[in-house]
Structure 1
Amino acid sequence: MKVEQAAGTADGIKIVTTGGVSEFLPAVESKVADALLPVRLTRAELSGEIGRRIDDLIYKNYMVIDLERNFLDPFRQRPPTDGRRYIGIGKVIDAGSRFAAYTNDPEVQKRTVWLIDELMKTRDPDGYLGHMKALPDGRQNYRNWILHDQEYAILGLVNHWRYCGDKRSLEYARQLGDYVLKTVPKNEHPEEVCTAGLPEAVLALYAETGDRRYLRFAADTRHGSKGEIACSSLRDWEQTFENRSQSHVYVMLARCYSQTLLYRFEPDDRLLKMSRFMLGELVKKDGGLLVIGSGSDGEHFAYTQNGKGAVSESCVTAYLIRWLDSLMRLEGDLRYGDLMERAVFNALFAAQDPAGRNIRYFTPFDGPRVYFHLDGFCCPGNLRRIVSELPEMIYYHTPDNGLAINLFTPSEKTVALGDGLQATIRQETDYPTSGHVKLTVSPSQEAEFPLRLRIPRWCPKVAVSINGSLPQIVSPGGKYHEIRRKWKSGDAVTLDMPMPWRFVRGRKLQDGKAALLRGPIVYCIGTAQNAELLKTVINPSDLILDPASLGEPVGDSSVRPQGLKVAAKAKIPANKDQKEQTVDVVLTEFVDPNGIATYFRITDSSQAVEDELVGKQQTQ
């Protein structure tokens, strides 16, 4: 797609500017043109629940975590370790780089630069960067988790260059990348080392430098811990999920994602084979996708639909969203956004403390949830990273100089469409509280171009009106709904997406039960709103809810601004000690940190429906 923007150079590097946001063009262009190109929003352009969550993570987490003690000191001191220690400093740099660009806040920018500068001071003369004492010939890189920290440090440094334009960071990334290329191929047992982010990081380095050594390394080097994934090169990787010890979902999704990146540089349909397989295993009728939009059990792929304990790892949620976005950009199919928003508004945001400070490693939907005790390690870092990426998952350029809308959230953005044309698009909505969305389109001059809208599959029918005209009724199921017309300044498109209650039928361990949803939001029983009831009901999943008793939702700001809850009637089954009782119960949005139960029996099982996201391949 041709997009005309203000252009310039800095030290030979091409720069483009759109709407006041400078972007540094990669040195290598993809051989496969994406069907959707993300539009980057800044803090001034994004609000609503997504904007609030990003702000909380920046100012109540990133800006207050102890970078000295928890991230830098291990690299400075290199204490003795048993090889099982992982810090995660590269993920902090990665998220911080995006946060700096998103906020344009000098304090956020300064903090990220300081972290990079202090980390670079810990390097050895030969380029080694790590929290373990160096061994001859770089053999410390053969142990977990030294290489894992290095790979995400490379990625974070590359993205600091991409988002903040600091050329030093790109040079730091190149130096660390060269150290990795020098040491990793010597390891005779690559199956012993975690390498989840290795190909992703080195491909990013290739994209920004054009150095084909990085491309060859990312594509052809065998890697992968035998306790997580089949050891293979990125180009040749194929496996099934029968061997649970080699079905670590985070690592597999990271590799699927990296294969989509490699595909853009070296188109080969075999590189998308595992993505198609993974997607099929997630969304088939008895697949691994959980109702809250994530999918893992004990960090591994599972078909059981277990909701207790170590399920819905935040790393999995993060890479699932990132990988789905990559597939959506490749194919132009906005139906991937249905899966993305289920994950974002449930598993992802429920893993973030409503107060903003704490992060969960796992987010079960059955039983109590706890916050992780560390700010480092993998899950807090990956959650920060994916939340920092959300501003680029809302609007997209289309190849025919149009716009596509994936996520609904209050926002306003001026976008260059090509041939000197710009258009400002504004979303006014309280989504996901309601399904009412008003889009105002204001081109710099009257012009014809397409506007593509995601029509969520949870909505039976959407009423789409232009400038107050008689609404067109649009059914879900297509890749997108396109409005192609000659636009003039102030044209308004209104979407009314009814959000009826629906009970989604449980599968496997949840068979015979159902989960309550409204729009993209899953509801649960929490301890705070049901304190008296839970004095007598030990297991709230045993309650039998009456679908006919559900009324309209009412406001509940205890969990989030504009949040909702609903009251219902439920039966406590009879047992040897008591007769059947009818009780009142309150269900809150799944992000309720006190949530302990999501699936229930219902009085009329015919009221339950299949989950609209499962039972068929995404593109069918």
Structure 2
Amino acid sequence: MKTNVFHIALLLLLSVTALAQMQPFALQEVRLTGGPFKNAQDVDLRYILALNPDKLLAPYLIDAGLPVKALRYGNWESSGLDGHIGGHYLSALAMMYASTGNAEMKKRLDYMVGQLARCQAKNGTGYVGGIPQGKVFWERIHKGDIDGSSFGLNNTWVPLYNIHKLFAGLRDAYEYAGNQQAKQVLIGLGDWFVELIKPLSDEQIQQVLRTEHGGINETFADLYVLTNDKKYLETAQRISHRALLEPLLAKQDKLTGLHANTQIPKVIGFEKIATLTGRTDWSEAAIYFWQNVSQTRSVAFGGNSVREHFNPTTDFGQLLRSNQGPETCNSFNMLRLSKALFLDKNDLSYVDFYERSLYNHILPSQHPQKGGFVYFTPIRPNHYRVYSQPETSMWCCVGSGLENHTKYGELIYSHSANDLYVNLFIPSTVNWTAKNSKLTQRTEFPYQNQSELVIETTKPQEFSVNIRYPKWAENFAILVNGKAQPVDAKPASYVAVRRKWKSGDKIIVRFTTSTRLEYLPDGSNWAAFVKGPVVLAAKTSTNDLTGLFADDSRMGHETKGKLYPLTNAYALVGNPATYLNQLKPIDRLRFRLDSLTLQPFYEVHDARYQMYFQTFSKAAFDEQKTRLKQQEAEAIALEANTVDKVNCGEQQPEVDHQYKGEKSDSGYDDEQFWRRTRSSIAYQLQNKNRVGKYIDIRALDDIRLDNVDFLINEKSAELISSEGKTIRLRADSQDVISLKITARNEKSTPRFNQIRLVTQ
């Protein structure tokens, strides 16, 4: 398959404007030829092959009442999010096939789609899905029976998010691999969904959309592109979440406290709908969101969020303290948004961010030898990351991780009707089939600041090769067949080289890069070393890497090793003029910093590390060290006393503790999350080794015992103490403790903030 059928459909639909816009090359037209990205692609391919398609298909077969060929996977695939990895797997197979031509990818993809078609035919309604008790759940929604929160809809774990992965997987199977059966299954599924929500009012649909739903509005816009049937575009607009869209339209920042990866896919949908409808206000809203997140909420490596939620732009302190740093899924989707905006707006600032995130978050999120994907990337000094394993780990970041390393060729090059654009310096080839031309890029960047571009063409022809002049590059120079060319462009633009090209013509691109300190966006004194687009970090220890490769436990994606005090982290003491002078070059992209060795963060694995460094004058350093030492001692003592804890109102902690609730809502006030109820909420706490003795509950309001009841393992809890906004209960000496909080007379409970199971 030499053309991308989905892109052809889009270009035909937008034929009036497409010629003026940047266009992507199909993955089939680009091949990686070496370097760390090619290695990452190869490692991902092995991980994809290690997964069993029949296990991934089992939830769909179970729902359709068909016999399974293998038991479904455990972990998230059998605890409520059943089937979501299967959707990602379709996308990964399709894109890996397009990027490599690997026949086994195509064979597995065709098999998966065929089995899904069987399930759809058996269901007889167009529906196919792996959601537990899916038919019962969807019937309740169809009838308008809706009780939703940020991640639970009718006490079902993010069902629209789940089914969005299947929508996207079927789309990708057709788009990238030309599977016609996938298109038919996708249309059937889309028609079923249109009928499902037809009886619902706009208010009810917005109520449904309170729960995380991925980019389902984008996939219905894609269905419109594939079919030119306006009902899909109308549906895409109808299922766009107004609670996020309206503040963005007004250029209002209402993001702090929101679950980050819930929002980003919605905005990708806003941008797609804008390109199809001409709604420039929706596109401006997407741009505002992108600028807000990329410029004020992202750290040096491109990631964002703490414990999966957007932190305040004025305080990154929680991010520095937490073992749950930016989530890989966030950057997966921010790259998709950056690519969409770049192709729409021809603005290289989107490529700058894309490149930064690609090198420093996406590439390091996979173990380069053993494989395995990272969920959280902490910036807490002297902490580490956890890697998935094929048989144990079925997290969301495994799903997006499968896709991340299949599509590195998507934006290395782009083209207009007549000209070629080189956006990234990655060893690769691109076949420009429309021009019967091929370009080969040979480079060792970022270890060498040079790239060689060699052109092959069937006959001499004139066009421009536009080479990105990155904003981080200095002394930018271009030679054609050994002759220097004028460079009158500025950083963050293209240098156009136009001539009649013939086979064998060679372009040499040369530049220099400098090392600089980039401070956190909140204006604090924490900074990271960056050389060119590459973030540098230091391995600090290989001690206590508990759970480095995840088991199948519900929270296996989180680190279990102890937190080292922030006061133990290396600090830069002196003044701004001397900080960089402390770096001593060792080798290509390696520097000595006293006892530490800085190297590209994407090379740092199987170790604790330090990426961010505090900067101090000598007097400020001594003062800060004393203050932090006391704070750290208190925080570490509390964690040592804690057996398990729930941060109420935060998505993943509540999912991890099997949250159930009725007539409940959650929010974020004064930089703290909370949950309350007019009926009941419940959590399960893990009492490892049965050492937990007490349950401490904290609220943002006074806890009045005449308004609320507490049950532990279905028995009235024994009250130990109660003081204002805190309460202590005696814990049950069981391995699992079920805590249920009920409101009396449907009066709202206080806003509960945190629940801790403690030893003393």
| TM-score band, normalised by shorter chain | 0.7 to 0.9
Deviation at 1:175, TM superposition (A): 0.9
CA distance in structure 1 between the partners assigned to 2:543 and 2:472 by the alignment: 28
Match of 2:534 among 518, 521, 529: 521
Deviation at 1:139, TM superposition (A): 2.4
CA contact (8 A) 1:315 1:378 kept: yes
Residue 104 of structure 2 corresponds to residue 104 of structure 1: no
Q: Secondary structure at the match of 1:566?
A: strand
Residue type of the alignment partner of 2:407: E
Residue type of the alignment partner of 2:424: L
Residue 293 of structure 2 corresponds to residue 282 of structure 1: yes
Match of 1:413 among 413, 430, 436: 430
In structure 2, what is the equivalent of residue 335 of structure 1? 349
Match of 1:350 among 364, 380, 387: 364
Deviation at 1:384, TM superposition (A): 2.5
CA contact (8 A) 1:461 1:474 kept: no
CA distance in structure 2 between the partners assigned to 1:22 and 1:128 by the alignment: 25
5 Å matches for 1:32-43? 32-33=17-18, 35-42=21-28
In structure 2, what is the equivalent of residue 63 of structure 1? 49
Deviation at 1:429, TM superposition (A): 0.2
Deviations 1:330-372 (A, max 9, x none): 1222332111111000011121112252111111222222235
In structure 1, what is the equivalent of residue 590 of structure 2? 565
Deviation at 1:445, TM superposition (A): 2.2
Deviation at 1:53, TM superposition (A): 1.3
CA distance in structure 2 between the partners assigned to 1:528 and 1:119 by the alignment: 47
Residue 407 of structure 2 corresponds to residue 389 of structure 1: yes
5 Å matches for 1:408-487? 408-417=425-434, 421-470=435-484, 472=486, 476-487=490-501
CA contact (8 A) 1:415 1:424 kept: yes
Match of 2:110 among 110, 113, 122: 113
Deviations 1:421-446 (A, max 9, x none): 42221111011222210111233222
CA contact (8 A) 1:525 1:586 kept: yes
Deviation at 1:222, TM superposition (A): 5.1
Q: Percent identity?
A: 22
CA contact (8 A) 1:546 1:603 kept: no
CA distance in structure 2 between the partners assigned to 1:297 and 1:55 by the alignment: 31
CA contact (8 A) 1:337 1:454 kept: no
Gaps of 5+ in 1: 1-15, 225-229, 556-563, 570-583, 606-620
CA distance in structure 1 between the partners assigned to 2:214 and 2:564 by the alignment: 45
In structure 2, what is the equivalent of residue 45 of structure 1? 31
Residue type of the alignment partner of 2:220: V
CA contact (8 A) 1:100 1:108 kept: yes
5 Å matches for 1:162-561? 162-187=175-200, 188=204, 189-221=207-239, 223=241, 230=243, 240-242=252-254, 244-245=256-257, 247-284=258-295, 287-302=296-311, 303=313, 304-305=315-316, 306-307=319-320, 308-366=322-380, 367-372=383-388, 375-399=393-417, 401-417=418-434, 421-470=435-484, 472=486, 476-508=490-522, 511-527=524-540, 539-542=568-571, 544=573, 547-554=580-587
CA distance in structure 2 between the partners assigned to 1:43 and 1:415 by the alignment: 7
CA contact (8 A) 2:355 2:424 kept: yes
Q: Cα 1:84–1:50, aligned 2, differ >3 Å: closer, same or farther?
A: closer
CA distance in structure 1 between the partners assigned to 2:251 and 2:82 by the alignment: 28
Q: Cα 1:83–1:106, aligned 2, differ >3 Å: closer, same or farther?
A: closer
CA distance in structure 2 between the partners assigned to 1:495 and 1:237 by the alignment: 41
Q: Secondary structure at the match of 2:326?
A: coil
Match of 1:587 among 588, 591, 598: 598
TM-score, normalising length: structure 2:
0.66
Deviations 1:270-325 (A, max 9, x none): 111222211332354xx112100122222222323324432221111011111111
Deviations 1:495-520 (A, max 9, x none): 11212222223443x72232111221
Residue 8 of structure 2 corresponds to residue 25 of structure 1: yes
- In the alignment of these two chains, the number of paired residues is 548
Deviation at 1:553, TM superposition (A): 4.2
CA distance in structure 2 between the partners assigned to 1:84 and 1:41 by the alignment: 30
Q: Secondary structure at the match of 2:498?
A: strand
Deviations 1:369-414 (A, max 9, x none): 2235754342222233343332121111123x01001111111222
CA contact (8 A) 2:440 2:453 kept: yes
CA distance in structure 1 between the partners assigned to 2:87 and 2:565 by the alignment: 48
Q: Cα 1:536–1:348, aligned 2, differ >3 Å: closer, same or farther?
A: closer
CA distance in structure 2 between the partners assigned to 1:529 and 1:470 by the alignment: 49
Residue type of the alignment partner of 2:140: R
CA contact (8 A) 2:572 2:579 kept: no
CA contact (8 A) 2:126 2:188 kept: yes
RMSD: 3.3
CA contact (8 A) 2:31 2:100 kept: no
CA contact (8 A) 1:298 1:311 kept: yes
CA contact (8 A) 1:462 1:475 kept: no
Q: Cα 1:356–1:450, aligned 2, differ >3 Å: closer, same or farther?
A: farther
Deviation at 1:460, TM superposition (A): 2.5
Deviations 1:574-596 (A, max 9, x none): xxxxxxxxxx2111221212252
CA distance in structure 1 between the partners assigned to 2:53 and 2:329 by the alignment: 21
In structure 2, what is the equivalent of residue 76 of structure 1? 61
In structure 2, what is the equivalent of residue 618 of structure 1? none
Deviation at 1:155, TM superposition (A): 1.9
Q: Secondary structure at the match of 2:439?
A: strand
CA contact (8 A) 1:350 1:363 kept: no
CA contact (8 A) 1:241 1:301 kept: no
Deviations 1:56-82 (A, max 9, x none): 1112x111124443x323333359998
Q: Secondary structure at the match of 1:368?
A: coil
CA contact (8 A) 1:288 1:301 kept: yes
Residue 171 of structure 2 corresponds to residue 158 of structure 1: yes
CA distance in structure 2 between the partners assigned to 1:136 and 1:465 by the alignment: 63
Residue type of the alignment partner of 2:422: I
The range that moved more, 494-503 or 138-147, is: 138-147
Larger Rg computed on CA atoms: 2
CA contact (8 A) 1:322 1:386 kept: no
Which structure is higher in strand share?
2
CA contact (8 A) 1:525 1:540 kept: no
CA distance in structure 1 between the partners assigned to 2:97 and 2:160 by the alignment: 26
